[in-house]
Amino acid sequence: MDTALKRFKAEFFKALAHPGRIRIIECLRSGEKTVGEIQAYLVEEPASASQHLALLRAKGIVEGRKSGTSVHYHVRDPKIFDLLDIAREIFNAHLVDTREMLSQLADEELSVSRANAADQ
């Protein structure tokens, strides 16, 4: 059972491991969209929208609803947005840490430069 859960988690995160798929999910945050609307949102790579949607659908992350000749997609479980929001918070925390570290390095380099200039 534990192995099945770990496998499920790994496959789930693998499905999210592409910027285009994350963008599709973010696009669906505001509600159901057609493939055409999703393709328009993915300006950089609209041709791959169908492939990304197929993978997200296969992993149970999005669902499609056929209406005439259009398919309307929505996120199956809105908790995915909470997951993406938490990931953004973690990323932002790392950015803050990185900025602080870079600031400290810059201060140290400035101190060394000043010390070297004073020695000359």
pLDDT in tens, 77-100: 999 999 999 998 988 887 777 777
* pLDDT attached to residue 2: 84
The residue assigned the tokens 């988690």 is 9
**Residue 46 in tokens:** 């609209």
The structure's pTM equals 0.75
Q: SS3 letters for 24-91?
A: HHHHHHHCCEEHHHHHHHCCCCHHHHHHHHHHHHHCCCEEEEEECCEEEEEECCCHHHHHHHHHHHHH
* pLDDT mean values, one per 10 residues, the chain (120 residues): 87 92 95 92 79 94 94 96 93 78 75 70
Name beta bridge partners: 63: 74
